[in-house]
Amino acid sequence: MARCRWIAALALASMCAATAAAAAESVPPPLELVVLGSGGPGATGRASSSYLLIVDSVPRILIDAGSGSFVTLGKTGLSLAATDLVLLTHLHIDHVGELPGLFKARAVSSSAPITFNVWGPGGSKASPAGAYFPSTASFLDRLFGPRGAFAYLRDFAAPITLVPHELPAAEGDREAAHVIFQDRGLEIRAITGHHGDAPAVIYRVDHAGRSVTFSGDIDAQGLPHLLQIAHDSDLLVFNTVVLDPPGSPAILYTLHSPPRAIGTLAGAAHVHRLLLSHLSPATNGDRAAVTASIRRAYSGPIDFAEDGMRLRP
């Protein structure tokens, strides 16, 4: 009899645990990341860098808009009808080339007026040492302004208002991350990144106790700022383009961080999970070497991004 009671109690406990697990799984997460683009500028069968953050079940924040992300969005079945926040890490074409298409997708999803708040870097001054980059405000005006390339789009299906917010370049390593947006528990912080001569920004999104940090394309000079803002992030999305030296062309190390540096930063920042994205044929083709190098300093979960992937931070 005692044995029967013990078995019955064990079965009841198992049922309760299974029910609790199912209930927890059915509760929508406060944040969910959707990968719209996991590749780089090459035509490799992946869309270029782009991500969509779902906040309390609403696809609300677009992070970068690389070429091909429009197609991935369609495959996910998600709508941009409530998307109103756009975070641009920098203005290279593989991070902003699909912006007109995604804005149009948003416009045709609803006839109501639309306001996009768009954050991105300030511009750079033309010089013999580096390429010229427009400011985010100038970039948007050249695309969508009254005399822009896609001026028609501002009132094509729904009136669109673009509100640019420029983030100036850093003045040394002591710059602190600062809040750029707050709304009902949703907080977005930013700090200057570094990607060669392209002005760049690193972003962190926090909501309901969960957090995601986006490195953007980042070289060694930007790592101190990333370390500061990424500390204790539930998920760090890190652009992973090069192998450890000398496995990639030398010029790429002036623009990107190798796996050894990624692991060192992730470990020092105590991030809970690492998503490797902006994958090149080199890093995607040698995942074992990339993982082994990161594992020297980081023991947490590591995922390789795929277009259409969904993650709960």
Select from 103, 107, 90, 99 the least CA-distant residue to 68. 99
From first to last of its 313 residues, what are the pLDDT tens digits of the chain? 555 555 555 455 555 444 444 444 568 899 999 999 999 888 889 999 999 999 999 999 999 999 999 999 999 999 999 999 999 999 999 999 999 999 988 888 877 888 999 999 998 875 556 788 999 999 999 999 999 999 998 888 888 999 999 987 665 556 789 999 999 999 999 999 999 999 999 999 999 999 999 999 999 999 999 999 999 999 999 999 999 999 999 999 999 999 999 999 999 999 999 999 999 999 999 999 999 999 999 999 999 999 999 999 9
Domain span holding position 282:
29-311
270 assigned to some structural domain = yes
303 assigned to some structural domain = yes
Query: 238: number of CA atoms within 13 Å, CB side?
Result: 35
**What span, in angstroms and rounded, lies between the C-alpha atoms of 56 and 208?**
9
193 assigned to some structural domain = yes
2 assigned to some structural domain = no
Whether 33 contacts 273, CB under 8 Å: no
CATH number, domain with residue 133: 3.60.15.10
* Residue 166 backbone phi and psi in degrees, to 5: -95, 140
146 assigned to some structural domain = yes
7 assigned to some structural domain = no
5 assigned to some structural domain = no
19 assigned to some structural domain = no
> How many distinct helices (H) and strands (E) make up the chain?
9, 14
Element (DSSP H or E) covering residue 269: helix 259-269
Structurally, the chain folds into a number of domains equal to 1
